[in-house]
Chain A
Amino acid sequence: MATRILIPTPLRGFTDKQDVVEADGQTVGELLANMTARYTGLRQHLYAADGSLRSFVNIYVNDDDIRYLDKEKTPVTADDTVSIIPSVAGGRAS
């Protein structure tokens, strides 16, 4: 069963303008891997070069940040909604 993933505004250009996509997977990691296999343009904006999620990418399962669950091993079901929520950060040069 597929799980719904909510796509934030800046990434919709990589999901055919869709704000919701579906993917299969039993964990958040599997879900994101399957989603980025289909929408390959998402990869570089979600993952750093070492394959870890970028620090300003927040993944929520329903209302919970996966950092406080089991990170990418957090289990998901078809009843869950997964959200990709940006942190927006920056600042002037050090």
Chain B
Amino acid sequence: MLTIRAAADAGIRRHGRDAYPHECCGALIGRAGVVTEALALPNATAEGPRRRFLVRPVDYRAAERRAAERGGELVGFYHSHPDGPARPSQVDLDHAWPAFAYVIVAVANHEPGSLTSWRMRDDRSSFDEEAVVIETADRNQPDEHDETPWPPGS
């Protein structure tokens, strides 16, 4: 099961809508298995952003650093499937890393729809879907909010 704070869920959906018809991508940062922040990252693919995404090593490194600075962890990554289902493709499986949550949001006609989460098996044979719970923050767990532009300098 993957728990996502409501603000992070909204951030993923907003990014998917804004990037449409291109794929968006970003990092999932959290604590104790709860995603508290969706960190938008540039889609650096050279293969056509309508059906591919790529997070560069420099941005991956920055995401790990950000998670460490927040006392948290890198839980996984998200991306959108414009005009496609919220299910991982063979391309996703071929490039996947173990342990990470892979969140996919389907976007059709600019509107984000289904949002799913998947984890690759250690033998790389397939993904298993996991339940997603959207958590509304309470007073003891304020949503993280950061106006810092991303990437730095943008």
**Surface stretch bound by A, among B4-12, B52-60, B137-145:** B52-60
Interface hit among B32-40, B90-98, B109-117: B90-98
Stretch at the interface among B77-85, B128-136, B146-154: B77-85
Return the contact of A91 from the options B64, B92, B98 (Cβ within 8 A): B92
B64 cross-chain contacts in A, Cβ below 8 A: 8-9
Between B47, B56, B123, B124, the greatest number of chain A beta carbons within 10 A of the residue's beta carbon is seen for B56
Q: Is A1 at the interface (CB under 8 A from chain B)?
A: no
* Other-chain contact of A89, B54, B81, B85, B99 (Cβ < 8 Å): B54
A88 touches B52 (CB 8 A): no
Q: Which of B25, B47, B99, B122 contacts A9 (CB 8 A)?
A: B99
- A71 to B97 CA separation, bound complex (whole angstroms): 22
Contact A91 B57 (CB under 8 A): no
Least Cβ–Cβ distance between A47 and chain B, in angstroms:
11
* Chain A 5-46 interface mask (CB, 8 Å, partner B; 1/0): 000111111100000000000000000000000000100110
Q: Could you list 11 A-B pairs, sorted by A, with CB under 8 Å?
A: A8-B64, A10-B98, A85-B57, A89-B54, A90-B53, A90-B102, A91-B92, A92-B85, A92-B89, A93-B84, A93-B89
